[in-house]
Amino acid sequence: GAVVSQHPSWVICKSGTSVKIECRSLDFQATTMFWYRQFPKQSLMLMATSNEGSKATYEQGVEKDKFLINHASLTLSTLTVTSAHPEDSSFYICSARDLTGIQETQYFGPGTRLLVL
């Protein structure tokens, strides 16, 4: 199947700093990418849908000014957690949709674990 990468795989930062997470589709072009967040022992929660060349669509309750999403190319989307606080510590997972097949298949990255001290 298609490959989606994330960088970094884990990050520790001080409270108040900003952290950028990159998501790349390695062998296909993705006009749409998704960002999820997962807290311990919970399921994945969709945060936002990122469309290449346009503004992201955020789910209810997700602050767009805090979680900045940029999807500047067909293979790269970035999520920036601005002014991170300990409650933002979580497992962030991106996903990209491969439209080249007969039916769309969504592939997930390995996740980025963020710890805010």
Partner 1 sequence: DAKTTQPNSMESNEEEPVHLPCNHSTISGTDYIHWYRQLPSQGPEYVIHGLTSNVNNRMASLAIAEDRKSSTLILHRATLRDAAVYYCILRDEGQTGANNLFFGTGTRLTVIP
Binding test (CB under 8 A) with partner 1, winner from 70, 80, 89, 105: 105
Binding test (CB under 8 A) with partner 1, winner from 39, 85, 100, 104: 104
Under the binding rule (CB under 8 A), the answer on residue 46 touching partner 1 is yes
Under the binding rule (CB under 8 A), the answer on residue 89 touching partner 1 is no
Helix, strand, coil percentages (3-state) for the chain, rounded to 5, are 5, 55, 45
Q: In whole angstroms, give the CA distance from residue 113 to residue 8.
A: 8
Of the candidates 18, 11, 3, 17, the one whose C-alpha atom is nearest the C-alpha of residue 94 is 3
Under the binding rule (CB under 8 A), the answer on residue 35 touching partner 1 is no
- CB of 97: closest distance to partner 1 in angstroms? 8
